[in-house]
Amino acid sequence: MITSNRNPFKIFFQYLVLASFLVLGSGSQQTSESKPDDALDKRVKELLSKMTLEEKIGQLNQLSNPYQQTGTGVMTAREEKFDEMVANGEIGSFLNVLGVDETMRLQKIAVEKSRLGIPLIFGYDVIHGYKTMFPVPLAEAASFDRALMQKSARIAAIESAANGLHWTFAPMVDISRDPRWGRIMEGAGEDVYLGQEAAIARVHGFQGDKLSDANSIAACAKHFAAYGAAIGGRDYNSADMSERMLREVYLPPFKAAVDAGVATFMSSFNTVNGIPASGNRWLQTDILRGEWGFDGFVVSDWNSLGEMIYHGNVESNYDIGYRGVDAGIDMDMEGRIYVQHVKQLLDDKKIIISQIDEMVSRILLIKFRLGLFDNPFQYCDKQKEKELTMHPDHLIASRDVAKKSIVLLKNENKTLPVSKKVKSIAVIGPLANDKDAPLGNWRGSSTPNSAVSLLEGIREAAGNKIEVLYAEGCKLVLNTEQNFFTQLQYNTTDRSGFAEAIATAKKADVVIMALGETAYMSGECRSYADISLKGLQPELLREIKKTGKPVILTLFNGRPMVITDVVEHADAILNCWLLGSQSGNAIADVLFGDYNPSGKLPASFPYHVGQIPVYYEQMNSGRPYDPNPSGFSSKYRDIPNAPLFAFGFGLSYTSFSYSKLALSSAKISLNESLTIKATITNTGDYSGEEVVQLYIRDVAGNGVSRPLLQLKGFEKIMIEKGESKEVSFKIQPKDLAFYRLDKKFAPEAGKFEVFVGTSSDNLALKGSFELVD
């Protein structure tokens, strides 16, 4: 979560930043030499041998800039003497301290005044951009474009590093199958494979070629683990699931992040099968370090150590200290637990010094890998900060990512694209001229109200040839200001703008409506039981539709929404998410056909909230779905089983046909791979990109039931109008692995079905093969 940029404390903080710049001037930028890890290990050991216990405990302590809290805040923290604490080596890391001036000021104290000169590591939630905002991560996952995801993370890293930061608390790689959970917006959605691919792309993007490069920042895979499975979709709630579900669905994106070289992990707030994740040795040590070989450090989530008291697994903060150390939580974010209790725990022999040494070593190793010891000020360059923040190239990239994240959900009578020959367009709705919603809830240090609104984007694209009319129609929320702390008040009664909106629609050739969610309706602590369009929005849409004009709905959202009752009132629907700084321009690109939409849903859109959790990777039941109403089959009596829009669904202005499925062999052994080819033809009127999706079904899991479908590959390809292209996928036996009856995560011989197609519910091609011992 993040405080509003209008927060008075932040304004004061910005003043401090400016003041310290005037005093200190700018730093210098040098690249740091890379050192092989054994040399770094030696340096860690040498340094550790010189440290007092107090200095060691200081490294475990991470505090927030008291003027910009991102968690349950203790403003009393302002009473603490941070500068003095840094000089005494009592703080190892800050979060929420931003900008070259302030990071340099504090770093100077750490390096020049503390006894051993150990540099600080500055962390921040750079979730989808630092100042140039990209689409929220869920939206970006809809691009199904690995290179694009990597690029946006790279740019976010460049801007962050230029602003003095070393570390982002991203990517969030939590799988979520519950759109009531507001944080579904921060991840890659419901699917394991897409989640893994997004994790890899984002870790590489943030960390660049080398962690010690001046424009690389350490990434953090969070929240470990199962946070996205909060019961009932209520944020911070417990997660309870089988070990199979955990290992097959919720853990793989974390493992992928480790394999991609992620520097840090963050533990989660929730309990996992009754044990708080932040006190869970099995997760944080046995699996993460033991099974996966992770050698970076683990930071707790914001006071997630302290919150164990409420989980009721411990009696005191002293016990929490023990649990945290035992679990393998190296750095305590804002909990002040280690600072207060580690010494006593050592004196009481509850823990031993080698445990603390290991924790400190892991933190120091990442500081060494970042090059902070070689050049603690390499991130402190005023010139770079000025040049790189909101660089024009970054805005161009943001628009590119944004347009590729949009998903076309409906396009009846080819309503879209809008012809540039129309005379007038009416832009209507509470979000039509909203310059803030597209920035999302985790908005880095972006300027409030700085996104290009839909109205602005359409006006820009329309130029002076098309008349663009505008009416708000109704307000969505009544609050004059929204930020992390506001309780939103929805407008359910004020229809005073309806008449003007209807009159405006009547004057135009086509109507574009902007409905959905504002920035603060998704994100942390933004769970909703009702995820349909709020307030008077559906009514406004119905009224506008009655004018008989073609209606295009642009939907703004940080989560899949329930729009079942709304669909029939729009001729076309574009799912526009929260697209960041260039939102309006990107949507205009798609509306007018300058870009042919190519996004696919990374999470199912429920038909009804009662279907949740709703996802395509279902197991079959012993009584599979049968449309016959008298049958005893697994179904709802009042609604369909299927979601309204399935995972992987997304239309294009053109059409594609699938043919010629070819498997390299009917049988492969455990050390062979299989090549699967298919031909895709663009049969429509526009050139366009298609996300070709490969799914498999393990027909019988040797004692274990297997899902009906699992995504195992995707390729996004551009196909010109009238052209055909062949797409090739490679499947290796390890891609078929599952948590077997013998508790091994490994493949097993047997029959497999293969499907290739355009979405999880539309798979035109089917084949099969056998894996043999």
Nearer CB in complex with ligand BGC: 174/381: 174
What's the min distance (Å) between Cβ of 128 and ligand BGC?
Answer: 13
In angstroms, the CA 89 to CA 297 distance is 19
Q: Which is nearer to ligand BGC, 48 or 74 (by Cβ)?
A: 74
> Do the bridges between strand 275-276 and strand 750-757 make them parallel or antiparallel, or are there none, so unpaired?
unpaired
C-alpha dihedral (242, 246, 249, 255), degrees to nearest 10: -160
Closest distance to ligand BGC from the beta carbon of 484 (Å): 10
Using CB under 6 A as the binding rule, whether residue 470 contacts ligand BGC is answered as no
Give me the least distance between CB of 225 and ligand BGC, in Å please: 13
Residue 302 is a binding residue for ligand BGC (CB under 6 A): yes
Report the alpha-carbon distance of residue 35 to residue 13 in Å, rounded: 36
| Site mask for ligand BGC (CB under 6 A), range 473-492, x = bound | --------------------
Tell whether residue 1 is a contact of ligand BGC (CB under 6 A): yes
Residues 696, 700, 703, CA angle at the centre, nearest 5°? Answer: 135
Q: Residues in contact with ligand BGC, total (CB under 6 A)?
A: 10
Residue 119 Cβ, how far from ligand BGC at the closest point, in Å?
21
DSSP assignment of 436-486: SGGG-SS-TTPPTT-SPPHHHHHHHHHTTTSEEEEE--S-SB--SS--TTP
Q: How far apart are CA 144 and CA 650, in angstroms?
A: 11
Residue placing its CB nearer to ligand BGC in the complex, 169 or 250? 169
Site for ligand BGC in 527-546 (CB under 6 A): none
Which residue's structure tokens are 């008075």?
8
At residue 573, the 3 state secondary structure works out as strand
Interacting residue with ligand BGC among 213, 301, 381, 571 (CB under 6 A): 301
**70 in contact with ligand BGC (CB under 6 A):** yes
What is the distance in angstroms between the CA of the first residue and the CA of the last residue of the chain?
Answer: 50
Q: Which amino acid is at 505?
A: A
Please report whether residue 73 would count as binding ligand BGC according to CB under 6 A: no
Contact residue for ligand BGC among 517, 524, 617, 689 (CB under 6 A): 524
Nearer to ligand BGC, 187 or 430 (CB): 187
Beta strand pairing call for 674-682 and 724-731: antiparallel
For ligand BGC, the closer of residues 222 and 706 by Cβ is 222
Candidate list 144, 169, 739, 752; residue touching ligand BGC; CB under 6 A: 169
Please report how close the Cβ of residue 440 comes to ligand BGC at its closest, in angstroms. Answer: 14
Judged by beta carbon, residue 265 or residue 605, the one nearer ligand BGC is 265
- Residue from 166, 180, 222, 435 in contact with ligand BGC (CB under 6 A): 222
Smallest distance, ligand BGC to C-beta of residue 141, A: 17
Q: Which residues contact 441 (CB under 8 A, 6 or more apart)?
A: 1, 2, 182, 185, 484, 519, 520, 522, 523, 524, 526, 558
Residue closer to ligand BGC by CB (options 442, 656) is 442
State which of residues 90, 125, 571, 690 lies at the interface with ligand BGC (CB under 6 A): 125
Q: Which entry of 301, 332, 400, 434 is annotated as an active-site residue?
A: 301
201: three-class secondary structure by DSSP: helix
8 Å CB contact between 219 and 127: no
Could you tell me if 152 and 159 are in contact, meaning their C-beta atoms sit under 8 angstroms apart?
Answer: no
Which CB atom, from 199 or from 576, has the smaller least distance to ligand BGC? 199
Minimum distance of ligand BGC from residue 96's CB (angstroms): 7
By CB under 6 A, tell whether 331 contacts ligand BGC.
no
Question: Considering the complex, what minimum distance in angstroms separates the CB of residue 750 from ligand BGC?
Answer: 40
Strand order in the sheet with 656-663: 656-663, 674-682, 724-731
- Cβ 547 to ligand BGC, closest distance in Å? 44
Closest to 353 measured CA to CA, from 20, 673, 51: 51
Rounded Cα distance, 205 and 199, in Å: 10
Q: What is the DSSP string of 266-321?
A: EE-SSEETTEEGGG-HIIIIIIIIIIT---SEEE--TTTTTTHHHHTS-SSHHHHH
Closest CA to 677 of 575, 570, 597, 767: 767
Q: Is 443 in the site for ligand BGC (CB under 6 A)?
A: no
Q: Is 436 a catalytic residue?
A: no
Tell me if 332 contacts ligand BGC by CB under 6 A: no
**In the set 35, 41, 71, 567, which binds ligand BGC (CB under 6 A)?**
71
CB burial of 511-529 (b: ≥16 within 10 Å; e: otherwise) equals: bbbbbbbbbbbbbbebbbe
Nearer to ligand BGC, 333 or 756 (CB): 333
Residues with a known catalytic role = 301
Contact residues for ligand BGC, defined by CB under 6 A: 1, 70-71, 95, 125, 169, 222, 301-302, 524
